[in-house]
Amino acid sequence: MRKFFLLAISCLFITVCYAQPSESAMISKIKSGDTNGKILNVELLGSGISEKVYEDGAWHSYYRRSYKTKSKTDYAGIYLIYYGSIQYELIGGSYQYDTKLVGDWNYEGVPDPNKDEILALLNADLIKYLGRNTYNDIVGDLSEITFPSDIKFHWHELTSVSFLTKVTYSEKISSTEVRKAEHTIEVRLYADEFKGPWKSFMSTKKDDGSSKTSGEIIKYTAEEMAQMKTLAELDEENAAKAFLSSLPEVEDVPVFESDKQLFYYIHEIVMTKPTEEVKAYLYKVLEPSCYEENSTVLLKSWAQKWYDNVGANHQAYIDAHCMYPTVKAYQSGMITFYDRENRRMLRMVGVENEGTYKLREIDFYPAPASDIERMKGNDANCGEKPDLTVRKVLSYKVGDKVIGKFSNGEFPGYIEKTDPYNANRYFMKLDGDNSGKGYWMDEVNLKPNTNTQQSNSNDSKTEENQTEQTTTENVTFNVGDKVIVNTTQGKKKGKIIKYASHKYLVKFVDPRYGETWVAKGNLEKDEK
């Protein structure tokens, strides 16, 4: 009995030594920092927790109790609600006050913000509301932004409040998939003063809508997906349309029959028109590859770069160049102009497109201001207006009668075949030439044969050749013999260097004609 009594006294002593601080003591400590008497009441939450923590090389025992306070503010009917914790440490057998842990707070009694004002702010900056990456993937219509039916406004400060919103949209999640889902987005508004206008906001997606398995997933072909413009692409398209609409009206550009006509036309426009008109003219001559796919107004980044460069440095372009500058180099589709000092270069690139020529690029880097001042009045390297007349290219078909231009004259013939790899190249046979030989001719060296008598004279020449063949049939020719060959270009001297299959291989004296196989009837002995 004595032992039981001593054990009970011992347990009571331990319990007393480790007794937690009283609620009144904790409430008093919580209110101790309130020198202005704004705290109206303190509510202790739960029963608290005890915890041992290893810190600074030793074990520490703590007791924590959560609490809630309600305090007055400078505004009638509006209260600060604070949620915090008070902490005690076990020292020498008793809990002693340690600290107040930082908590969270909100305000009570503040009127809800105007929802129309909120929506106007969010819709004015959808990129910020949705997030740039999401905005870049959204296709189709965006639903109206709404609020949950049980919406709660959490006032962090009297100038900042947060709440939840909902919105539905479809976004690309792969090269062939679009997901349509409703998303919950938390928004926090900021103002400069209480009841002042909302100046800015932050947003955070709170749901798991980013999961590829959420919402309705619709599959498309890659081609169909490529046709779907995202919100970001539509914004860029609309901005480009607005820019184009802001440019002045200018006259239509002519049809260019050559790239040079295009290059000199553009150069003259840049040299003589105001900057805004130059920008308008450039849009009229840009070739399709300068535009983004499925757009006629939105330029690709590389095209936008050189386009902006010309506009930004327009005056420097004018000051540095002659109206008719020296040409450093020209090749089909590209020309390089020198500046007034024949030092710096300006390059233009163009392509043939739908019966005219279009501009692909102006590669221009402005000279420093010091150089511009020096070269502005230098006309020493300026040239004259070039002849930009374009010869009309003719097209021929198999069987057409033509006249071929050769180094030794013009000769009639006909088109036997066309070059499948070059639309302006033809294989021509000469009238009256029975050797089987023909010539590949560029279109520039051909012209239509409108002389109907030409064929008759050729026929008579053919008869003469046949007569000559008859008279020479009994003549014997040997390798090494000097001979005269009857050709469509006249009689040419040569030497027989080989015989095979009843024909003779003749090497012409004139090296321009090389070698050719000749039938016996077209040979004569060279007696000289």
User: CA 159 from chain center: how many Å?
Assistant: 42
Task: Round to whole Å and give the CA distance between 1 and 345.
Answer: 115
Distance CA 207, CA 479 (A): 98
DSSP-assigned letter for residue 522? G
Nearest to 196 by CA among 126, 85, 288, 113: 113
Cα angle: 8, vertex 14, 17; to 5 degrees: 140
DSSP code per residue over 233-283: HHHHHHHHHHHHHHSPP-PPPPPPSSHHHHHHHHHHHHHHS-HHHHHHHHH
Tell which CATH classification among 2.30.30, 3.30.310, 3.40.1710, 3.40.390 matches the domain 401-453. 2.30.30
Closest CA to 257 of 383, 361, 350: 350
Walk along the chain (528 residues) and give the pLDDT tens digit of each residue: 444 333 333 333 333 446 789 999 999 999 988 888 899 999 999 999 999 999 999 999 999 999 999 999 999 999 999 999 999 999 988 999 999 999 999 999 999 999 999 999 999 999 999 999 999 999 999 999 999 999 999 999 999 999 999 999 999 999 999 999 999 999 999 999 999 999 999 999 987 555 555 788 999 999 999 889 999 999 999 999 999 999 999 999 999 999 999 999 999 999 999 999 999 999 999 999 999 988 999 999 999 999 999 999 999 999 999 999 999 999 999 999 999 999 999 999 999 999 999 999 999 999 999 899 998 889 999 999 998 988 778 899 999 999 999 888 889 999 999 998 888 899 999 998 888 889 999 998 999 998 755 544 344 443 444 444 444 456 788 888 999 988 777 788 999 988 876 778 889 888 877 888 888 888 888 887
d(CA 392, CA 405): 17
Comparing CA positions, the residue from 56, 187, 58 lying closest to residue 131 is: 187
Please give the Cα distance from 371 to 377 (Å, whole number). 11
Terminus-to-terminus CA distance in the chain, angstroms? 162
Nearest CA among 197, 183, 92, 195 for reference residue 145: 183
Spatial distance between the Cα atoms of 168 and 180, rounded to a whole number of angstroms = 7
Q: Residues 409, 489: contact at Cβ < 8 Å? A: yes
d(CA 76, CA 73): 7
524, β-bridge pairs: 484
Tokens 């497109």 belong to: 353
CA 351 to chain centre: 20
Domain boundary assignment for the chain: 16-108, 115-228, 236-375, 401-453
Q: Rounded to whole angstroms, how far apart are CA atoms 157 and 107?
A: 7
Q: How many residues does the chain have?
A: 528
Distance, CA of 72 to CA of 146 (rounded, Å): 33
Cβ neighbours around 518 below 10 Å, total = 21
How far is residue 52's CA from residue 63's CA, in Å, rounded to a whole number?
A: 9
CA–CA gap between residue 285 and residue 352 (Å, rounded): 11
Site of tokens 């009970």: 8
Kindly compute the dihedral angle of the four CA atoms of residues 253, 256, 262, 264, in this order, to the nearest 10 degrees.
-90
* Edge-first strand listing for the sheet containing 503-508: 515-519, 503-508, 490-500, 482-487, 523-525
Q: Which residues have a Cβ under 8 Å from the Cβ of 292 and sit 6 or more positions away?
A: 233, 236, 298, 299, 300
By three-state DSSP, how is residue 43 classified? strand
Which pLDDT score, from 0 to 100, does residue 180 have?
Answer: 93
CA distance linking residue 379 with residue 382, whole number of Å: 5
3-state helix, strand, coil in the chain (%, to 5): 30, 40, 35
DSSP, residue by residue, 161-204: EEEEEEEEEEEE-SSSEEEEEEEEEEEEEEESSTTPPEEEEEEE
> For residues 340 and 316, what is the distance between their CA atoms, to the nearest angstrom?
12
Q: Which residues contact 163 (CB under 8 A, 6 or more apart)?
A: 147, 151, 152, 153, 154, 186, 187
DSSP state letters, 152-173: --EEEETTEEEEEEEEEEEEE-
Q: Please list the residues that pair with 44 across neighbouring strands.
A: 67
